[in-house]
Structure 1
């Protein structure tokens, strides 16, 4: 194999690694956003639970409106989290595909390196055999 082909394979490998890093960063951003949403959701639920009992009818109305508002916000956070999870599935699949491509490139590079080693070993063996044959013929002639 020529050096250009090996260099081309190395370039492809580096490109795949860069793509993997970029997609991994996207996954990290999605996971960070999901963690933020979950933390906000938990804070809202804690806030509902911490708000005291209301005094009288007016307090009950305010508490009820507050709970509805927080519940609506929580539903919005849940919808956003669901949307992020769905989009992260595509990113996760892309990451798996890139890992698969990178592994395939690594296997090709390893197989080609093994073929180069095998050919080099065969050439060395042939050269040694020729040298031994020349020595043997020289010994026979003398």
Structure 2
């Protein structure tokens, strides 16, 4: 196994790790955005529930406009949240795929490192055996 091939696997592993970190960061941003949307939705619902006396005739029109505006805003926020949840699910799948790829690359790197070690050990053992044989033959000829 060439050092160049091993270096290529190391680079590929680093790239997958970097890509995985980027996807995880994007998922974090989506989750933060979902949290903000939910907090805004709750605040709007509280405003809607705490609004002034709806019995006053002059307040009825203003209250009606306010309720309509809040309802539209909540609907928009829920649509945005739904889109973000879909993106989050897609990114979660992508993150799982990246983890699986990174694991396969690490497994291949580990197997190749073991194969190189076995080959190196076998070469060292063969060289040592050859040296012992050479010494044995020299000792046998000298006697």
Task: Tell me how many residue pairs correspond in the alignment.
Answer: 142
User: Cα deviations across residues 27-76 of structure 1 (Å, max 9, x unaligned)?
Assistant: 22212211111111111112223323334233344334322321221111
For residues 9 and 86 of structure 1, the distance between their equivalents in structure 2, rounded to whole angstroms, comes to: 33
**Where in structure 2 are the equivalents of 1:36-115 lying within 5 Å?**
36-115=36-115
For residues 85 and 54 of structure 2, the distance between their equivalents in structure 1, rounded to whole angstroms, comes to: 38
For residues 43 and 139 of structure 1, the distance between their equivalents in structure 2, rounded to whole angstroms, comes to: 95
For residues 103 and 21 of structure 1, the distance between their equivalents in structure 2, rounded to whole angstroms, comes to: 14
For residues 67 and 123 of structure 2, the distance between their equivalents in structure 1, rounded to whole angstroms, comes to: 82
Q: Which residue of 1 aligns with 2:5?
A: 5
TM norm structure 2: 0.85
C-alpha root-mean-square deviation of aligned residues, in Å? 2.0
TM norm structure 1: 0.85
